[in-house]
Chain A
């Protein structure tokens, strides 16, 4: 999925993403279910951690009691929490909570983008695999860009096309869209557009 944003003639943003916008009912339903599952899991983990806090500090503030009273009225939540408390020791409980948090915060898609600004440079960015930290970006000033090209390479058991930028004074090229490695047609569009945007047309 390639989307192009062109706020001004000298700036262009190419974004590729593995996320497809939910169009039909089924995609929407699964999307909604996924969000619901995440909310439930979050509440559960919060409950477990709260319980843990109460166990660790029995004389702590009374607001925890109120929440505890409130959540214990929800039967499945209480049952699951009790199950965890009875069956597992504290390190395991904490580990399980951490694991669930990791799962909740994981992104199910990757978004990568290439921002080209004439006279300034290129910024590549790859979204992080988790909501907990930000995406990794890299800015390359125009003066140090030597070339941009599309080439092929072996990756795993596949042969893929990639768009790369040659940077002055660096041994390795910078691969644009390194996670997704889009199809050749997309890469060609990006390559043409980026070159046209980066270098002023000769006239």
Chain B
């Protein structure tokens, strides 16, 4: 069963970020599995109208007003006419929204339900329960999620959080983690070491990348990488407080801090106020390098220059950067918050409490582990490669689609779900599309909110009726499907891709083991 899926979110490329890359990677892997996927987002500077990305991915940039941190202005109804046109012309069956702060996603889910489509929501972030902004956001989330078929969270902590915030049935919430493209995050290769040695210190202030094949002595310089946007919720304050202590305690530590944000100025001020002999080595080199904001493609090149990644985030639903760092062969020191403990196994990480003393202790412990050769950093990449892959994420997401549409799973998906799984993920009551059932669900949201939500839904339904008259369905052109691509074209591509692509790899290995003569013929 192939689906026509629309991914909707305010956050998409060219803006960098975790949600953005999640949507892109998931969409392209779903396309590889034979589905049709379009992405709906709002306009970005230089990205307007309807565009195609590589891999047949179509992106609609809705002309919409952006208010805050690339979120569109909440008008509730104004996107409906355009979304309806897109849903009809692309013959969408499933709407998949991303990001609980994305207004476009919530509006899209509301309209899609009004039009009788299946909806899935993926939550990428954690929220509090106590401050005013969170209460507002949670109320809106509850509104939008009271009538959604299924919710996907990126970690179990995130699932717990979302279930509580939106009062969901936990059975209708699945956990599908993020992944990384392991081939983009390889540790430093031997030929690259030689290259960088030849070039010398061409890239300016950065310390040269360490050779992973050489073991660290007790006094050798150790470089700590920090890659984080410098916002309060990313724990920049913690970093600022811990930095002087770490510099004082360990003579051999160097820092590379990449990222920008409102707290960059605080960080710079702290560095300026420190004594000179602390910030500079005896040879006059700066021990702390601030890189500012870097592009996602450059992350790997920065990461391979270090031994350790330090993450002081105060809230983190998944922490893709940790997986990326481990994939580059870095030891990880991370605060034990949110979904972070689920992400990587204990032998790659040192978990600390979000307190200054504990961060210092954790870094000290990690430095000790590195110098005592207790960890095999060179093994990290292969381990991570086997843990996370986007094709696996796509396969699991497809299973969610199968669940909500009630269709049977794809052949390669069947094996993973035996009797144990039959009841999992089934919503307690089947989400009926009838308006009265939807109204009942919304009415239960609260004393006042429930009534307000019911009014909103009724108005939405009336607008839908009006649009059916104003822009009749038969006047809307249906998009042509992309010309079919021969199946073996993909398999050829996968050969070049070191990342574990489930189906193709299995076939290949089976071929190798089972009939060696055959494979010669085929090649």
A interface, CB within 8 angstroms of B: 151-154, 157-161, 183-184
Flag if A153 contacts B49 (CB, 8 Å). yes
Mark out the residues of chain B between 468 and 498 whose CB falls within 8 Å of any chain A CB in the assembled complex.
Answer: 471, 476-480
Q: Contact between B49 and A154 (Cβ–Cβ < 8 Å)? A: yes
Cβ–Cβ < 8 Å partners of B480 in chain A? 184
Question: Considering only CB atoms, which chain B residue lies closest to A154 in the complex?
Answer: B63
B179 within 8 A of A: no
Assembly CA distance A4 to B50 (angstroms) = 30
- The chain A residue sitting closest to B88, CB to CB, is A159
Q: Beyond the given A159-B89, A184-B480, could you list 7 further A-B residue pairs with CB under 8 A, ordered by the A residue number?
A: A152-B479, A154-B62, A154-B82, A157-B471, A158-B476, A159-B60, A183-B477
A selection of 24 A-B contacts at a CB cut-off of 8 Å is A151-B50, A152-B49, A152-B50, A152-B479, A153-B49, A153-B50, A154-B62, A154-B63, A157-B82, A157-B85, A157-B471, A158-B81, A158-B85, A158-B471, A158-B476, A159-B60, A159-B85, A159-B86, A159-B89, A159-B476, A161-B477, A184-B477, A184-B478, A184-B480
- The answer for the CA separation of A183 and B480 in the assembled complex, in Å, is 13
Q: How far is the CA of A29 from the CA of B492 in the complex (A)?
A: 66
- Report the minimum CB–CB distance from A1 to chain B (whole Å): 15
* CB of A162 to closest CB in B, whole Å: 11
Which residues of A are found within 8 Å of B50, using beta-carbon distances?
Answer: 151-154, 159
- Nearest Cβ on chain B to A164's Cβ, whole angstroms: 12
- Residues of A close to B63: CB separation below 8 A: 154
A151 contact set on B, CB distance < 8 A: 50
What is the chain B residue whose CB lies nearest that of A183? B477
Residues of B close to A183: CB separation below 8 A = 477
**CA A158 – CA B471 in complex, angstroms?**
8
Q: What B residues does A160 contact at CB under 8 A?
A: 477
Which size class do B's interface residues fall under?
Answer: 10 to 19
Nearest-neighbour CB distance to chain B for A146, whole angstroms, equals: 19
Bound Cα distance A102, B82 (Å): 35
On B, residues with C-beta under 8 Å from A are 49-50, 60, 62-63, 81-82, 85-86, 89, 471, 476-480
Complex interface: chain A residues within 8 A of B60 (CB): 159
In angstroms, Cα B234 to Cα A151, docked, is: 42
Chain A residues within an 8 Å CB radius of B81:
157-158
A11 CB, nearest partner CB in chain B, Å? 29
Contacts of A158 in B (CB 8 A): 81-82, 85, 471, 476
Is chain A's binding surface mostly helix, strand, loop or mixed?
strand
Inter-chain contacts of B476 with A (CB < 8 A) = 158-159
**Which residues in B have their C-beta under 8 angstroms from that of A159?**
50, 60, 82, 85-86, 89, 476
Distance (whole angstroms) from the CB of B5 to the closest CB of chain A: 18
Bound form: Cα–Cα A154–B135 in Å: 36
Bound CA span A69–B471, Å: 54
Q: Which chain B residues border A152 with CB–CB below 8 Å?
A: 49-50, 479
Smallest CB separation, A106 vs chain B (Å): 24
Least CB distance, B411 to chain A, in whole angstroms: 34
CB distance from A140 to the nearest CB of B (A): 22
In the assembled complex, how far is the CB of residue B66 from the closest CB belonging to chain A, in whole angstroms?
16
Inter-chain contacts of B82 with A (CB < 8 A): 154, 157-159
Q: Which residue of B lies closest to A156 (CB)?
A: B81
The interface centre, meaning the residue of A151, A158, A159, A160 with most chain B CB atoms within 10 A of its CB, is A159
A104 and B81 CA atoms in complex are apart in Å by 35
Distance of B93 from chain A, by nearest CB (Å) = 18
Identify the interface centre among B82, B471, B477: most chain A CB within 10 Å of its CB: B477
Q: Closest chain B residue to A161 by CB distance?
A: B477
**Residues of A contacting B86 with CB < 8 Å?**
159
Which residues of chain B have C-beta atoms less than 8 A from A184's C-beta?
477-478, 480
7 nearest A-B residue pairs (beta carbon): A157-B81, A184-B477, A152-B50, A159-B85, A153-B49, A183-B477, A158-B85
Instruction: Kindly state the separation between the CA atoms of A151 and B49 in the bound complex, as whole angstroms.
Output: 10
The distance in angstroms between the C-alpha atoms of A153 and B85, with both chains bound, is: 12
Instruction: Tell me, in angstroms, the Cα distance from A151 to B48 when the chains sit together.
Output: 13
* Complex-state Cα separation, A175 to B253, whole angstroms: 61
**Once the chains are docked, how many angstroms separate the CA of A184 from the CA of B481?**
13
Contacts of A161 in B (CB 8 A): 477
Residues in B neighbouring A153, C-beta threshold 8 A: 49-50
With a CB–CB cut-off of 8 A, which chain A residues contact B62?
A: 154
CB-based nearest A residue for B467: A157
In the complex, what's the smallest C-beta–C-beta distance from B198 to chain A, in angstroms? 44
**Minimum Cβ distance to chain A for residue B473 (Å):** 13
Give, as a whole number of angstroms, the nearest-CB distance from A153 to chain B. 5
In the complex, what residues of B have CB within 8 A of residue A154's CB? 49-50, 62-63, 82
Residue of B nearest to A157 (CB): B81
Instruction: Please give, as numbers and ranges, the residues of chain A lying within 8 Å of B471 by CB-CB distance.
Output: 157-158
Assembled-state Cα–Cα distance A157/B478 (Å): 16
Interchain CA distance A153-B49 in the complex, whole Å = 6
Nearest chain A CB to B29 CB, angstrom units: 25
CB distance from B209 to the nearest CB of A (A): 44
The smallest C-beta distance from A163 to any residue of chain B, in angstroms, reads 13
Name the residue on B nearest A153 (C-beta): B49
CA distance A180 to B82 in the complex (A): 19
Q: How far is the CA of A154 from the CA of B63 in the complex (A)?
A: 8
Closest CB in chain B relative to A110 CB, distance in Å: 17
- Once bound together, how far apart are the Cα atoms of A154 and B82, in whole Å? 8
Q: How far is the CB of B379 from chain A (nearest CB, A)?
A: 49
CA of A157 to CA of B86, assembled, Å: 11
- B36–chain A nearest beta-carbon distance, Å: 15
Q: How far is the CA of A184 from the CA of B63 in the complex (A)?
A: 22
Alpha-carbon gap, A153 to B63, bound state (A): 11
Cα distance A183–B476 in the bound complex, in angstroms: 8
CA A152 to CA B82, docked complex, whole Å: 13
CA distance A153 to B81 in the complex (A): 14
**B43 to chain A: closest residue by CB:** A154
What residue in chain A is nearest B475 (Cβ atoms)?
A183
Docked pose: A158 CA to B60 CA in angstroms? 12
Tell me the minimal C-beta distance from B87 to chain A in angstroms: 10
CB of A150, distance to nearest CB on chain B (Å) = 10
Distance in angstroms from A161 CB to nearest chain B CB is: 6
Taking the nearest CB of chain A, how far is it from the CB of B41, in angstroms?
Answer: 13
> Min CB distance, A184 to chain B, in Å?
4
For the complex, give the distance between the alpha carbons of A158 and B62 in Å: 11
Give complex CA distance A154, B85 in Å: 10
Docked CA distance A160–B82 (Å): 11
Q: Which residue of B lies closest to A188 (CB)?
A: B480
What's the least CB distance linking B465 to chain A, in Å?
15
